[in-house]
Structure 1
Amino acid sequence: MKSSLPLYRHAIDWAAFEQEFPPPDIYANTVFTWSRDQLRDLQDRRFRDIIELAWTNRFYSERWQAAGLTPADIRSLDDIVKLPSFTTDDIKDDQTRHPPFGHISGIDVKRELLHNPIKVQTSSGTTGKPRPSLLGARDWELIGLQTARTLYIQGARPGDVLQIPATNALAQFGWVFYKAAHDYLGIMPITTGSGVVTPGAKQMQIAFDYGTTIIASFPEYLTTLARTAREELGRDVRDLGLNFLPTFLGPDTEGALRAELERLWGCPVYDNYGTNEISIAAFEGPDKDGLYLMEDLVYLEVLDTETGQPVADGETGNLVATCLSRRIPPIIRLNMRDVSRILPCGTSALGSNFRRMDHFLGRSDDMAKVRGVNIYPAACLSAVRSDDRTTGEWMCLVDRATVDGVIRDDMVVQIEIRPDASGLDGLEMALAGRLKQDLGLKVRVELVAQGALSEVTNIGKEGKARRLIDRRFAK
């Protein structure tokens, strides 16, 4: 007797899926080394398929028709610039008007569940209210596969033990690393959850006891774990002998953050880039020569932050993503307002012709204009970490005052200092000078004790750190 339930194993034609999207080891030796022409042909085919689907999706069809477009106008990937981009604000508006998932999902959830298992995830909520996003079985497999490819090319192999100090909740982070390890790589995942679930000392005791070889987390928490192991367990995390750390370094343009993590943990550290809507879309390899774009699954453009027009390789702008195989929901020209640039480059040391991007440099919507200068708080990283007397953590505070009828905006950068730091005379002035050089604006530096910024920055907790409080427009 055959079950009438929508069993997950029946939701996908697995042989066809593996043929279209090869496992990480095969991928690394085939698609990852293809020529630019082969990649373009694959991108173009997948783009045409996803555009055909998107014309049946009200979120896209209504926007495109309003822009005067018809299906005949979009024939290949070359035509992508004709399509209007959108932002997460448009997703939020769509979901407000058509709750809870919006027209962008493209499905009636109750009907879809009769034959296709659906999962809901959300953004982390670091920059606002978390955004829900649906995933069908095929889409869920793809984001797990994206993470598996990343880990494999960075060096993960069957027999490794991957510790994931992130809660398997609505945000994707913990889930995708678990799925990559368990379903695609022959790696044992240890889902310890966040520090709220498993305190730092216990996290590290588990790592030593269970033979952890890889830990996936954000830099701030990795720093906290290393310090906790030393202070509470009397152990050096370098003794774990980790293979590598996959993380998200952000604007570490001078390598100070990477160098600090590699010193603490005694292993290579690899950068990655991704979001809730597109999962991991770019990753470093062992060559550490830019982040390889996941070109066969995600097409990334860079648009000028002011004009919205494409910029040349090497120039910075907003990253705009199109998922070439995602169906629930389709993602076509999502302006993520994350600032970076595509690096001019050819065939890499790994034999790949994939394009590569620079570090994520900050968010264009997390920018503060102070006295006519655009300030990205993330750009403080190199200056703050240039002196080993700091903990490497900071917070930017922007205020407005009226003096003698003149309005003036000022920024204070609060920087944590290590408890064992000595000789602090002149440190404020030195850091202020370095920040002025990097930011193009004179700011005031305020030194604070280690841990003083933990609550406002989210340091030591699950998720990304917060670096800006703009108090000028607070009610």
Structure 2
Amino acid sequence: MIWQKDVECMERSALQKLQSERLASLVRRVYECVPFYKAAFDQKGLSPSDIRSIDDISKLPFTRKTDLRDNYPFKLFAVPMSAVVEIHASSGTTGNPTVVAYTKNDVALWSEVMARALAAGGATKEDIIQNAYGYGLFTGGLGVHYGAIALGAAVIPMSSGGTKRQIKLMSDFGSTVITCTPSYALFVAEEAVSMGIDPKAFKLKSGIFGAEPWTNNMRREIEERWGLKAIDIYGLSEIIGPGVAIECYEGQDGLHLFSDHFYPEVVEPGGENAVAPGETGELVLTTLTKEGIPLLRYRTGDIVSITEEPCPHCGRTSPRISKVRGRTDDMLIIRGVNVFPSQIESVLLEIEETEPHYLLVVDRVGSLDQLEVQVEVDEKIFSDEIKVLESLRKKIQREIESTLNLVVSVKLVEPRTIERSMGKAVRVIDKRELYS
């Protein structure tokens, strides 16, 4: 189903004209309303009048996640607070989170692109969508919720967790589409089997899964267990939330990116030059139509490739990005939560019984990602009573879980156990093989 055929199948020349008009308008607005961008323009000797078409976008400055944190909480907003109707925030590293604002028009935009995404993923107004993404400051739950309403589908706002209840209502209500993280989809299937229920007995026809990287092998496992089509969705809170790009139900062959609202570039990781079509690089996005916190050339940190060829499966003409193949930074995504090693380091530095050496071991146990934090402790503490060590372990675990809002396991190890490096310290061992 193509929900907005006139836009999603737009001729390339018409799309570029629309993008050019929207970029020119955006540049004028951020120059006038956001001091950060005015300073960035002035530093480059740029005037809004220099940006006449979408081809001029390479003249503009990049925006980085650190810029959002440095301007915490509201300095990048392009509207007064009286025009803001919703605020979301992602987790911080050692300090401030990234904060994003939505006006009424932004919420309408979010609803529109998420309705497009749900439709591309096989949903119609006849469907019952069980939304098991988390609601709250995380954008996943509300994004799907708004999109389902705009599409005219019935949405069950389950949020995450409560797995036995998820299964009961999925059966009783006859849910036809499920939205959640892919790892949670596998966990629900396992729980259903443990209850004596065949996951294929449900009425689900498709699942729209995102918020964490996942492989095609994982896709095949989900589809086999559930008997549905597993669709990859992409988004990030800084841009809009979920609804930036999605695979189509017909092809599952690259994620259609709604470039009339979010203009994509793929550049050299850490560099500024565009890569050749089809080559991998860092995805950079510009929010052409957002009001609350519009962003110019935002460096997502996600490694993808892109194709401009129309989709041979569904007919959409929007560009398609590959599944995310890696990151340019050291961020981990664990059960939908962004985790930076520096967050954990900041916790450990506050606990004097520990040494400044740690290792994060990420693995997939069953269907869920697990994070183990190995921490070296002071020699005197390590040789102390077991109850003292256990008390310290629980203290570290509480502090880390409070910071990350994520359940972790903590393992205390002897001094000088964690391997030292002459160069950049190896802080993470990821055993999930996410990008195969």
Q: Same fold (TM over 0.5)?
A: yes
Structure 2 unaligned blocks of 5 or more: 342-356, 368-396, 410-417, 428-436
Alignment check: 8 A CA contact 1:250 1:361 kept:
no
Shift of the 276–418 alpha-carbon distance from structure 1 to 2, 3 Å rule, reads: closer
Quote the Cα distance in structure 1 between the aligned partners of 2:173 and 2:128: 8
- 1:190 equivalent in alignment to 2:153: no
SS in 1 for 2:144: helix
Alignment check: 8 A CA contact 1:123 1:275 kept:
no
- 1:31 equivalent in alignment to 2:3: no
- 1:261 equivalent in alignment to 2:227: no
- 1:105 equivalent in alignment to 2:66: no
Counterpart pick for 1:248 among 207, 210, 216: 210
Structure 1 unaligned blocks of 5 or more: 1-23, 368-376, 382-394, 398-408, 420-453
Give the counterpart letter for 2:164 in structure 1.
A
Quote the Cα distance in structure 2 between the aligned partners of 1:92 and 1:470: 32
Aligned residues: 362
Alignment check: 8 A CA contact 2:174 2:203 kept:
no
- TM-score, normalised on structure 1? 0.69
Give the counterpart letter for 2:225 in structure 1.
L
Q: What is the Cα-based RMSD across aligned positions, in Å?
A: 3.6
- 1:336 equivalent in alignment to 2:297: no
Quote the Cα distance in structure 1 between the aligned partners of 2:171 and 2:147: 22
Shift of the 269–457 alpha-carbon distance from structure 1 to 2, 3 Å rule, reads: farther
Alignment check: 8 A CA contact 1:220 1:465 kept:
no
Aligned-residue offset at 1:268: 0.3
Deviations 1:178-202, CA, capped at 9 Å, x for gaps: 11112x122111111221xxx2111
Counterpart pick for 2:200 among 238, 242, 247: 238
Alignment check: 8 A CA contact 2:270 2:328 kept:
no
Quote the Cα distance in structure 2 between the aligned partners of 1:135 and 1:192: 23
Name the counterpart of 1:289: 253
Give the counterpart letter for 1:91 in structure 2.
L
Give the counterpart letter for 1:189 in structure 2.
V
Counterpart pick for 1:273 among 223, 231, 234: 234
Name the counterpart of 1:316: 280
Shift of the 191–229 alpha-carbon distance from structure 1 to 2, 3 Å rule, reads: same
Alignment check: 8 A CA contact 1:221 1:462 kept:
no
Name the counterpart of 1:153: 120
Shift of the 344–178 alpha-carbon distance from structure 1 to 2, 3 Å rule, reads: closer
Aligned-residue offset at 1:105: 0.3
- 1:54 equivalent in alignment to 2:27: no
Aligned-residue offset at 1:396: 13
Counterpart pick for 1:181 among 107, 125, 148: 148
Give the counterpart letter for 2:15 in structure 1.
L
Counterpart pick for 1:118 among 78, 85, 92: 85
Counterpart pick for 2:109 among 139, 142, 151: 142
Aligned-residue offset at 1:49: 1.2
SS in 2 for 1:39: helix
Shift of the 470–129 alpha-carbon distance from structure 1 to 2, 3 Å rule, reads: farther
Deviations 1:256-305, CA, capped at 9 Å, x for gaps: 01101101111001111110022321110021121111111110101101
Counterpart pick for 2:271 among 290, 299, 307: 307
SS in 1 for 2:160: coil
SS in 1 for 2:70: helix
